[in-house]
A and B are shown apart, each in its own frame.
Chain A
């Protein structure tokens, strides 16, 4: 396997003090091959690397849930089932802290564009009273501006909202709903520790339709304990019948420290075997594909024009703000996760207000950028744009990637596309990646095949990582 001394020649640099244009000069330091005239020419073009863009997206974490689901390891706050949520001081206090965080967040440039996407994730955001959500949106709007066209998504759970509440959310500007259905079988929902049943699922769908929500996602989980192919087929069929514009299909990850983590081992009963679990993935890809959904990302499907703009900023390596407990942000090339414990989060907001918090360590490696770019792009059906990647990280690296993926291209796990979007045949590919490789128009995109490549994406992406080194 060819290996570049990539990591070793890269420098880490402080983002704050980085002069403009350094990105390009660094690129030169790790280009190993003599540059062609053509490559030199591209250097003069202005490239703004994605992470240099000002953020136009914000993730807002609303951590409240009735209770913790058995598979969940997200930072949540369980409220219990009895209390009324309207004036729960835990929610009120949290929202206040959240708004303080938004206000205290430094904005580097006054020329920042208004937010194009806002995503309320959780937790169960629909448990937060609309007036408090309104407060958050107002704070975001006055701090960063909010585009009139902005996609504003909210995760909602069946059984946590009625039509009146939903209308209130819509009036605030929420225009996309991500409905946490997970399964269409009461037994499975119960086994997961969900706070709702199938009846609530149908009520929720009716509510969405009655209130005219046209952009909504059905979120499902496959490979649940005791889940059979028949059940999964039924869930997919009922999903298609409900006509959401978007479907997210998550594959159960058994996380340490969760109830499932204690009870179950992946691949062992009552969890489906690895083979069956792979079959679930194929079924989703096949059935949703046949129903007209575009499999645009490993776990995301949408009807034409309804991809989740917010999530797509992640895959494109574009920056985004993050607010709230445990929320991740990506600003100025720095990825940061907020504290997952409420008390620590309070301290964090305090120090942010006092101006003593200045990012994690203010440094990052260029190799991290390259790994992020590959890892995220290969999750999408569009794949990795080899030209922009080559311009940013060097065409030697592109060549190494091609070499690493050659056997998997031949086995059908990886697809290379030319600039017209046509897939490249194996023998032509061998010619293109021969040792006298030149940057070529012929190689435009690299993507994983659906479903074979997607199913083994971890394996394939880690091959790419091994080329980049550490």
Chain B
């Protein structure tokens, strides 16, 4: 992820220089073509598009129907294949557009199948996001260069969020073009920018689609201007659509076929297959989404992984049309699935190159291991449920191998797990999936980032759990380092002041500040990752009435004055509540934590002191007075059962609490602490 982003940043600064100095589109194309990291050059004739002078007729190839036996992939050599993805800021209409294209090509029946067809997880549907890559193969007849030709179109749906930028880069690596969907009213947003540069980085042909033009507030001309000024995209190339009403959709697939080049692989070369994503199926085991870059694959072939060296036999191979449809083969440029008898998705590394075991190939570029940016402790809400949580996490990591899991234990919370995530959204999604798909009830500790502490004896500690950092170290601390990010924020210009205040409050360093049009400002900040881990986005949204958009990419570590902040109840530290904060923030964070705890811990039979401390120095303190009254002095007649139920409820409540020393801490207190920045 790192070098991809660094490359992107490098290019971004080049490009933004170009953009804001008003240089022409031709120059940018030239830049792209000269990019030394490129896997292939963009063919100018594809890039320019052929649609301007000819009128084509375009039809979905319905004759394929659902009968998989009639699909003969041999009819689709590379030049009749187009691989593309749809990229967009959240809620700009990516999933609806995908649904419409699937309907238009008869891949799914209109009105059948659920909306957001490709977003299969509950969490994806609820949040309107894509977490896992999906592919769908469509067939479409199009009058191409004067004759009706059948095309095979692969839509590769990618996650849109920065947490998954590595996964996105791998998905885009399998594409030659992308539909850049922009909401006609909202215009270019932070994720639009990030996604554009990811596509640009991968040398994709970008087809701008200005969507939701049926909205009363739609202003496609303004969006065209933004696309021109930000990305140097020709306003004439933009398609105007409403995925909701169907307006303009008929132009989308012709544009895909005419503007996007076919996949460039060689059918005569040995097999190289890019692993896009994988998921675990109860019956079939691990199913991998793959793109055949060179050569071809047939059921029964023996293949090997370049990353792990393991070998597998292809037990089943086919396309997603839109569900698993066996074809027995996949040819150069085609995208589909394989089943190999892998036991766990941990073996299926995203970005890995799969090849025939008998041949040696140069692995495809860009493979990297998952890098964990955010850590959090996960504990069973009910201490006795450790085994259940263990089981749930095992099952979920089966489907999401990018989470790192190690066992840890806490005095306050008992046995649990320290989990590493790609980013905040990834963490959130993992929590939600644990609860929704595996019915696990968890307490998670305040998310933290991997800090580096160096001591005078030369020892160096990477801290993933603040509790593990000694409050009184034996050796003098010589340096602490914390990870940073480069954040892109786009907002209406009236909110600039508030956003600058927020970013400097979060120890941000402004790198860029400009305007993308008369109403919208664009800023780049270097921010400590810790500062955006908790509550940054919510805060940003609230100070800008929801109009700001935000994205970030990983950047390097920086030296920082960090301290461990302990929370003590009646003098006893609560390990699960320890955090690492910047020294300047410690008094405020300490005060907030103490106040929150006072609010969420119920009064008990004894007085409780709540303190925040750095080492032995107390920086905030509150006292919770003893409970004064808890009695049922009511005439229930002989209704003893009702009385007892009330008391049993109280007992159950106690059972769900976590006990530190003599103090019972309700679960809500832990949940609430997550919200303290």
Contacts and interface: CB of A to CB of B under 8 A. Distances in A.
Given A458-B647, A461-B647, A281 B633 contact: yes
Contact of B641 (A328, A454, A470): A328
B640 A457 contact: no
B641 A458 contact: no
Interface in A220-273: 248-251, 253
Given A328-B637, A329-B638, A274 B628 contact: yes
B601 to A, nearest CB: 14
B646 interface: yes
B584 to A, nearest CB: 38
B630 A456 contact: yes
A371 interface: yes
A335 B640 contact: yes
23 contacts: A219-B635, A253-B632, A275-B628, A281-B629, A281-B631, A298-B631, A298-B632, A299-B633, A314-B638, A327-B637, A328-B638, A328-B641, A337-B641, A456-B605, A456-B629, A457-B630, A457-B632, A459-B627, A459-B650, A462-B647, A462-B651, A465-B647, A466-B651
A105 interface: no
Max chain B Cβ within 10 angstroms of own Cβ: one of A329, A376, A461: A461
Contact of A458 (B603, B604, B631, B637): B631
Interface in B642-676: 642-644, 646-648, 650-651, 654-655, 662
Contacts of B639: 328, 337
B634 interface: yes
A372 B644 contact: yes
Contacts of A368: 644
Interface in A110-125: 119, 121
A458 B635 contact: no
A432 B446 CA distance: 45
A278 interface: yes
A296 interface: no
Interface in A51-74: 59, 61
A278 B628 contact: yes
B606 interface: yes
Given A121-B637, A328-B640, A330-B638, A470 B631 contact: no
B638 A59 contact: yes
Given A274-B629, A457-B630, A299 B635 contact: yes
A458 to B, nearest CB: 4
Contact of B648 (A253, A455, A470): A470
B654 A462 contact: yes
Max chain A Cβ within 10 angstroms of own Cβ: one of B634, B637, B650, B655: B637
Nearest to A299: B633
B368 to A, nearest CB: 50
Contact of B630 (A328, A335, A458): A458
Q: Which 9 A-B pairs have the closest CB atoms?
A: A251-B633, A278-B629, A278-B628, A299-B633, A465-B651, A462-B651, A462-B650, A328-B639, A458-B630
A457 B605 CA distance: 11
Contact of B629 (A219, A249, A455): A455
A458 B632 contact: yes
A325 to B, nearest CB: 12
A166 to B, nearest CB: 22
A368 B641 CA distance: 10
B641 A335 contact: yes
A416 interface: no
A219 B632 CA distance: 16
Interface residues of B, number: 29
B561 to A, nearest CB: 43
Contacts, number: 110
Contacts of B643: 375
A212 B459 CA distance: 91
Contacts of A59: 637-638
Interface in A80-107: none
A119 B633 CA distance: 19
A165 interface: no
A121 B637 CA distance: 8
A454 B631 contact: yes
B651 A299 contact: no
Given A251-B631, A253-B632, A281-B629, A459 B605 contact: yes
A413 interface: yes
Contact of B640 (A119, A372, A413): A372
A320 B627 contact: no
A327 to B, nearest CB: 7
Interface in B151-181: none
A251 B634 contact: yes
A322 B629 contact: no
A408 interface: yes
Contacts of A277: 628-629
Contacts of B647: 375, 458, 461-462, 465
A454 B630 CA distance: 9
Nearest to B649: A462
A430 interface: no
Max chain A Cβ within 10 angstroms of own Cβ: one of B603, B639, B650, B655: B639
Interface string A304-322: 0000000000100000101
Interface in A346-391: 368, 371-372, 375-376
A434 interface: no
Max chain B Cβ within 10 angstroms of own Cβ: one of A119, A372, A456: A456
A459 B634 contact: no
Contact of A299 (B634, B644, B650): B634
B606 A458 contact: no
Contacts of B641: 328, 335, 337
B638 A320 contact: yes
B658 to A, nearest CB: 14
Nearest to B602: A459
A250 B629 contact: no
B645 to A, nearest CB: 11
Nearest to A408: B605
A377 to B, nearest CB: 12
Contacts of A372: 640, 644
Contact of A249 (B603, B633, B640, B642): B633
Max chain B Cβ within 10 angstroms of own Cβ: one of A278, A327, A458: A458
A402 B603 CA distance: 23
A411 interface: yes
B665 to A, nearest CB: 16
Interface in A440-470: 454-459, 461-462, 465-466, 470
Contacts of B654: 462, 466
A281 B630 CA distance: 11
A376 B640 contact: yes
A456 B650 CA distance: 12
Contacts of A375: 640, 643-644, 647
A250 B651 contact: no
A332 to B, nearest CB: 15
A413 B629 CA distance: 12
B31 to A, nearest CB: 65
A407 B639 CA distance: 31
A314 B632 CA distance: 15
Nearest to A468: B651
Contacts of B629: 251, 274-275, 277-278, 281, 455-456
Contact of A455 (B604, B631, B640): B631
Contacts of B644: 368, 371-372, 375
Interface in B120-141: none
Nearest to A59: B638
A119 B638 CA distance: 10
Nearest to A453: B631
B194 to A, nearest CB: 47
B383 to A, nearest CB: 13
